[in-house]
């Protein structure tokens, strides 16, 4: 039977290849994701090993906070270095400081940055070579008030050793001599981070860390193990610091990084999963059609003595072969994909530390097993149906598959699936006390069930759906053909002049062909429905993303409009990084300022969780207006040293009322006893304040190197070009900060959201491409199946173009059914998600803004048009085949 299976496959190369596409793409996403993330992980692993190679013991501040990309660990007093050096087994020890952002200013006055990669600054000491990770490429090591920068930044900024360069640390921009260009170990770059290195004294000044160190590295005397040295240091040093071996520190850094990367990996794998799920639909559909077309073949096998299990075996065998071949192709395509992405990263300035691809055995077996299993799952139902073909079908004209045994229960069953899906969704979204993992799996399973249910039940409604979308499709196709009309007329005229008499490219719809297409779509309603379902999934998710984003941005705009009473906002150039307080001080001197206030941002331990806390200056009461549950605008001015403002949801979940006591722990381990001075209701769309807000004076006295989240400004005369100019001038020394009007502030936020969305859209595009192949495949199979009909139509006067139009319209109908269902489902999911975010009343993670459900027609119309285009493009190849059919052969086709 395997031989039969193999022969069958070879006989249907095109069909098998189109079916396999779904698996190839899904598996490529899996293997590409693994290779990419493993490679990044591997590079960081070797990077950190390189950094801590010569370090036996590593001393840093002890902090109760979890590692957090928004704040570096606290500093330690410089005096500890002497203590370390005085320890018995220390051969050599050195201290350093580091900070970010420490920006390098380009010759155009703008910060040199690669995408969202950080701008790092640190001290360098070339004299102690075992601790130095930099290699000098040109020039010399930095002296006092000098700097070295990395190759990438030098290239981008057009700098060479000896130039004067602007550096932006904790204060305003400083001009320094660029003493040399360096490289990090042997690597070309670390994911696009820019590096600025100084000698210790200069670094301390630039980073505002005079008298402090961030870490101390020590090497042991010969014969002393790192563990022993660390132990000695632990007893010698105060408990405010931790001592680790260099190896342990490298491992910790690696695991911190890989924790971040594994989030990215899981995120990408989720999209690969979606793609494969869509792939299952495509494969089930193509297999069902192929098997229906081969009814007579199976019947013949049965008459020749093949048992049911042999028929089953031959189909499963075929699927296994297709799955295996497709998985292998997908696996290698994934390697290519990863390599391509690395190349893209490199081109975008985000070079990886090392270039060797890391391919773990896990990547290979997971990709292969997933690909094969998905294909097998998809083939079970069609295969079982094939086994029910009776031998008598061999001699019947137009034999068809026996109807499924479950047909009767199909509608009820799919409605149950939809109901279960929604229950699971609602449970995941709204039940209390679930972990992130539980939420995600409940939501994922729920969405899956809903998709399957809708796909199954939609077969019953193909008739009305198709009739509903058909005129829309006709109009859209016509509109699109009018758009490209000049081109098609030109092509036609050229052909005609060349003596090739083709039909004039009219754009008016062909009534009979659209009507035949509509009836064909309805005739094969199950295949139309499941082909459409594949596209539905992709479009539902795209719509969900868009609806959520629209709700988010619209609500944000509303929030800004309702609470923002200032004229300008000063934020960092990329809108989200913190900015130094010195920028605010520079602006405060601008003539015309009526009020200026900043919101500080820092991390602290609140109720044993690492959370963000904010701090406000008293003037804030003039610059934004909050809705108060307890307290008033005056509360902002009178927080004093122990007053705290909390949000009402935070107050509720921790049972806080006015004058309740609460405490937070700063990164240095200091406990602040606070008292609730006011409770506010965060506006829908985002709050300027976090869960806990204290006064800026108090914040500055207990947090090291405080930074502003943003600064608000009110000016005489409001938003005028003179005022804008004055602020820009005041910020001239702070190239990473910008003054924005209310509108610009909102726009910047929205464009940041939209940028993030682009990534989601690109990832979802994979699923849509798979469903695109699904449409192509269904159409190709349909053309095979209707060969004789097409022959007849051609014989009675259908032109090639009419035949093409018929196929195209069927594709457009299918795509639009998928589009309609997808957009509707996406809106429902979007509404649920928004509702969930709105009703968050417990432990708001990361200050998710409260948002309202907002629907705009524009993106949805774009998605519908996109669906039409998917249909049109998917039809090109099958329609060509249909048009090219030899009439005579088609008529004799069986």
Partner 1 sequence: MYWLEYLDLRVASIFSLIRVDSKSVHIRNKSDDEHSYRSGYYRFDAEPTAPPLRIQEGRMSTRDTKKSANQSAVLDGVAVHAVDLRRTYGEGDTAVNALCGVSVDVPNGHLTAVMGPSGSGKSTLMHILAGLDQPTSGTVEIAGTEITTLSDSELTRLRRKHVGFIFQFFNLLPMLTAEENILLPLEVGGRDIDRDWLDEITNKVGLGNRRKHRPSELSGGEQQRVAIARALVLRPTVMFADEPTGNLDSRTSGEILQLLEDMVETYGQTTVMVTHDARAAAIADRVLFLADGSIEREMPRSDPSAVLAAMNELSR
Using CB under 8 A as the criterion, which residues of the chain lie in contact with partner 1 when the complex forms? 478, 482, 489, 492-493, 496-497, 499-504, 506-509, 511-512, 516, 519-520, 522-523, 788-789, 791-800, 802, 887-888, 891
Distance CA 514, CA 534 (A): 23
Token representation of residue 737 = 């900060």
C-alpha distances out from residue 8 to 291, 318, 333, 402, 429, Å: 11, 8, 26, 22, 47
Residues forming a β-bridge with 681: 627
Q: Rank residues 260 and 509 by Cβ distance to partner 1 and give the closer one.
A: 509
DSSP for 716-740? TTSS-HHHHHHHHHHTTT-TTEEEE
Q: Rank residues 190 and 817 by Cβ distance to partner 1 and give the closer one.
A: 817
Distance CA 302, CA 312 (A): 11
Give the three-class secondary structure for 22: helix
**Which backbone phi and psi does 138 adopt, to 5 degrees?**
-150, 160
- Helix (H), strand (E) at residue 869: helix 857-884
Distance CA 849, CA 643 (A): 24
Task: For the CB of residue 363, give the shortest distance to partner 1 in the complex, in Å.
Answer: 49
Q: Rank residues 674 and 806 by Cβ distance to partner 1 and give the closer one.
A: 806
Task: For the CB of residue 801, give the shortest distance to partner 1 in the complex, in Å.
Answer: 8
Torsion of CA 355, 361, 366, 368, to 10 degrees: 90
Helices (H) and strands (E) in the chain, counts: 26, 25
Q: Rank residues 585 and 800 by Cβ distance to partner 1 and give the closer one.
A: 800
Task: For the CB of residue 491, give the shortest distance to partner 1 in the complex, in Å.
Answer: 12
Q: Rank residues 400 and 839 by Cβ distance to partner 1 and give the closer one.
A: 400
Task: For the CB of residue 464, give the shortest distance to partner 1 in the complex, in Å.
Answer: 16
Token representation of residue 423 = 């229950």
Task: For the CB of residue 414, give the shortest distance to partner 1 in the complex, in Å.
Answer: 25
Q: Quick one: 620 exposed, middle or buried, by C-beta within 10 A (0-12, 13-18, 19+)? A: buried
Q: Rank residues 270 and 887 by Cβ distance to partner 1 and give the closer one.
A: 887
Task: For the CB of residue 864, give the shortest distance to partner 1 in the complex, in Å.
Answer: 20
Q: Rank residues 73 and 791 by Cβ distance to partner 1 and give the closer one.
A: 791
Q: Strand 103-105 to strand 164-168: parallel, antiparallel, or no bridges (unpaired)?
A: antiparallel
Q: Rank residues 98 and 787 by Cβ distance to partner 1 and give the closer one.
A: 787
Q: Three-state secondary structure along 485-535?
A: HHHHHHHHHHHHHCCCCCCCCCCCCCHHHHHHHHHHHHHCHHHHHHHHHHH
Q: Rank residues 62 and 523 by Cβ distance to partner 1 and give the closer one.
A: 523
Strands (E), 730-855: 737-741
Residues forming a β-bridge with 695: 616
Q: Rank residues 140 and 502 by Cβ distance to partner 1 and give the closer one.
A: 502
Task: For the CB of residue 781, give the shortest distance to partner 1 in the complex, in Å.
Answer: 17
Distance CA 814, CA 535 (A): 9
Asked if 571 and 741 touch (Cβ cutoff 8 Å), the reply is no
Task: For the CB of residue 709, give the shortest distance to partner 1 in the complex, in Å.
Answer: 57
Distance CA 39, CA 45 (A): 10
Task: Region of 737 please: left (phi>0), alpha (psi -120 to 50) or beta.
Answer: beta
Distance CA 236, CA 257 (A): 31
Q: Rank residues 626 and 813 by Cβ distance to partner 1 and give the closer one.
A: 813
Q: Rank residues 351 and 810 by Cβ distance to partner 1 and give the closer one.
A: 810
Asked if 748 and 640 touch (Cβ cutoff 8 Å), the reply is no
Longest Cα–Cα distance in the chain: 102
The separation between the first and the last C-alpha atoms of the chain, rounded to the nearest angstrom, is: 24
Task: For the CB of residue 891, give the shortest distance to partner 1 in the complex, in Å.
Answer: 7
Task: For the CB of residue 407, give the shortest distance to partner 1 in the complex, in Å.
Answer: 18
Task: For the CB of residue 394, give the shortest distance to partner 1 in the complex, in Å.
Answer: 18
Task: For the CB of residue 400, give the shortest distance to partner 1 in the complex, in Å.
Answer: 11
Give the three-class secondary structure for 590: coil
Task: For the CB of residue 792, give the shortest distance to partner 1 in the complex, in Å.
Answer: 4
Q: Strand 593-606 to strand 609-616: parallel, antiparallel, or no bridges (unpaired)?
A: antiparallel
Task: For the CB of residue 297, give the shortest distance to partner 1 in the complex, in Å.
Answer: 20
Identify the residue whose tokens are 């790092």: 120
Asked if 456 and 410 touch (Cβ cutoff 8 Å), the reply is yes
Task: For the CB of residue 501, give the shortest distance to partner 1 in the complex, in Å.
Answer: 6
Q: Rank residues 494 and 722 by Cβ distance to partner 1 and give the closer one.
A: 494
Q: Strand 643-647 to strand 241-245: parallel, antiparallel, or no bridges (unpaired)?
A: unpaired
Q: Rank residues 489 and 759 by Cβ distance to partner 1 and give the closer one.
A: 489
Task: For the CB of residue 797, give the shortest distance to partner 1 in the complex, in Å.
Answer: 3
Instruction: Count Cα neighbours of 248 within 13 Å in the Cβ-side half-sphere.
Output: 13
Token representation of residue 697 = 């004076």
C-alpha distances out from residue 249 to 50, 95, 610, Å: 12, 15, 21
Chain Cα centroid distance, residue 428: 21
Q: Rank residues 235 and 500 by Cβ distance to partner 1 and give the closer one.
A: 500
Task: For the CB of residue 457, give the shortest distance to partner 1 in the complex, in Å.
Answer: 22
Distance CA 119, CA 343 (A): 21
- Of the candidates 739, 745, 736, 587, which has an alpha carbon nearest to the alpha carbon of residue 110? 736
Q: Rank residues 67 and 478 by Cβ distance to partner 1 and give the closer one.
A: 478
- Of the candidates 346, 52, 373, which has an alpha carbon nearest to the alpha carbon of residue 219? 52
Task: For the CB of residue 524, give the shortest distance to partner 1 in the complex, in Å.
Answer: 10
Q: Rank residues 726 and 779 by Cβ distance to partner 1 and give the closer one.
A: 779
Token representation of residue 65 = 């906070």
Q: Rank residues 397 and 846 by Cβ distance to partner 1 and give the closer one.
A: 397
Task: Region of 428 please: left (phi>0), alpha (psi -120 to 50) or beta.
Answer: alpha
């Amino acid at each position: 039977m395997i031989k039969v299976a193999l022969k069958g496959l070879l006989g249907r190369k095109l069909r098998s290849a189109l079916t396999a596409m779904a698996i190839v793409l899904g598996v490529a996403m899996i293997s590409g994701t693994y290779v990419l993330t493993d490679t990044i992980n591997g590079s960081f692993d070797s990077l950190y090993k390189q950094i801590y190679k010569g370090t036996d013991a590593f001393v840093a501040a002890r902090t109760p906070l979890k590692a957090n990309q928004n704040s570096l660990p606290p500093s330690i007093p410089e005096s500890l270095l002497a203590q370390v050096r005085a320890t018995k087994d220390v051969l050599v020890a050195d201290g350093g400081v580091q900070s970010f952002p420490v920006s390098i200013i380009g010759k155009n006055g703008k910060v040199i940055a690669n995408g969202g990669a950080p701008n790092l600054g640190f001290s360098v000491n070339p004299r102690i070579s075992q601790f130095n990770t930099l290699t000098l490429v040109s020039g010399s090591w930095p002296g006092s008030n000098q700097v070295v920068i990395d190759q990438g930044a030098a290239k981008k900024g057009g700098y060479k050793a000896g130039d004067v360069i602007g550096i932006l640390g904790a204060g305003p921009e400083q001009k320094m001599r660029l003493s040399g260009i360096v490289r990090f170990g042997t690597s070309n770059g670390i994911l696009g981070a820019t590096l600025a290195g100084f000698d210790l004294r200069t670094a301390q000044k630039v980073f505002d860390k005079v008298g402090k160190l961030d870490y101390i590295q020590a090497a042991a005397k010969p014969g002393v193990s790192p563990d022993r040295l660390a132990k000695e240091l632990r007893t010698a040093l105060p408990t405010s610091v931790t001592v680790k071996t260099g190896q342990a520190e490298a491992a910790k850094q690696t695991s911190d990084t890989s924790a971040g990367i594994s989030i990215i990996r899981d995120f990408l794998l989720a999209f690969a999963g979606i793609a494969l799920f869509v792939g299952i639909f495509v494969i089930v559909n193509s297999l069902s059609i192929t098997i229906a077309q081969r009814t007579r073949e199976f019947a013949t096998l049965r008459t020749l003595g093949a048992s049911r299990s042999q028929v089953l075996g031959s189909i499963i065998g075929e699927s296994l072969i297709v799955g295996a071949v497709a998985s292998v192709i997908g696996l290698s395509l994934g390697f290519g994909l990863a390599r391509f992405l690395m190349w893209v990263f490199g081109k975008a300035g985000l070079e990886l530390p090392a270039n060797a691809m890391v391919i773990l055995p896990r990547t290979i077996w997971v990709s292969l097993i997933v690909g094969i299993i998905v294909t097998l799952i998809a083939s079970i139902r069609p295969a079982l149906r094939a086994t029910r073909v009776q031998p008598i079908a061999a001699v019947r004209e137009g034999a068809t598959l026996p109807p499924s045994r479950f047909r009767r229960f199909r509608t009820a069953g799919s409605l149950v699936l939809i109901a279960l899906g929604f229950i699971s969704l609602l449970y995941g979204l709204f039940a209390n006390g679930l972990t992130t993992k539980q939420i995600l799996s409940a939501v994922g399973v729920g969405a899956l069930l809903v998709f399957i249910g809708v796909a199954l039940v939609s077969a019953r409604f193909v008739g009305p759906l198709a009739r509903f979308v058909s005129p829309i499709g006709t109009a859209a196709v016509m509109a699109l053909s009018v758009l490209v009309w000049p081109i098609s007329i030109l092509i036609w005229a050229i052909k005609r002049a060349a003596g090739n008499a083709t039909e004039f490219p009219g754009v008016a719809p062909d009534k009979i062909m659209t009507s035949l297409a509509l009836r064909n779509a309805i005739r094969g309603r199950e295949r139309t429905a499941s082909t459409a379902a594949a596209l539905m999934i992709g479009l539902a998710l795209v719509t969900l993303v868009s609806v959520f984003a629209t709700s988010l941005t619209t609500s944000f705009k509303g929030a800004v409009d309702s609470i923002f009473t200032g004229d300008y906002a000063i934020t960092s150039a990329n809108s989200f990084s913190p900015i130094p307080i010195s920028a605010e001080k520079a602006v405060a001197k601008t003539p015309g300022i009526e009020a200026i206030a900043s919101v500080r941002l820092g991390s602290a331990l609140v109720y044993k969780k690492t959370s963000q806390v904010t701090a406000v200056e008293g003037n804030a009461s003039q610059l934004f207006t909050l809705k108060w549950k307890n307290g008033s605008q005056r509360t902002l001015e009178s927080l004093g040293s122990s007053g705290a403002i909390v949000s009402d949801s935070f107050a509720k979940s921790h049972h806080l009322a006015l004058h309740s006591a609460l405490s937070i722990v700063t990164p240095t381990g200091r406990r602040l006893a606070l008292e609730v001075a006011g409770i506010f209701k965060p506006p829908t769309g985002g709050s300027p304040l976090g869960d806990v807000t204290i006064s800026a004076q108090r914040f500055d006295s207990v947090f090291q190197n405080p930074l502003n989240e943003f600064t608000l400004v009110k000016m005489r005369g409001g938003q005028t070009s003179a005022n804008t100019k004055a602020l820009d001038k005041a910020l001239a020394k702070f190239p990473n900060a910008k003054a924005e009007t209310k509108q610009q502030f909102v726009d910047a936020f929205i464009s940041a959201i939209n940028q993030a969305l682009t990534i989601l859209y690109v990832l979802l595009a994979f699923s849509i491409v798979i469903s695109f192949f699904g449409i192509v495949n269904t159409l190709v199979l349909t053309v095979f199946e209707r060969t004789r009909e097409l022959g007849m139509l051609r014989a009675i006067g259908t032109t090639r173009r009419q035949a093409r139009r018929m196929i195209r319209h069927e594709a457009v109908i299918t795509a639009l059914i998928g589009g309609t269902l997808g957009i509707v489902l996406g809106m429902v999911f979007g509404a649920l998600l928004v509702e969930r975010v709105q009703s968050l009343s417990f432990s708001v993670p990361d200050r998710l803004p409260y948002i309202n459900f907002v629907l705009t027609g524009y993106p949805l119309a774009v998605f519908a048009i996109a669906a039409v285009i998917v249909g049109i493009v998917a039809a090109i190849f099958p329609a060509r085949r249909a048009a090219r059919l030899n009439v005579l052969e088609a008529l004799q086709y069986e």
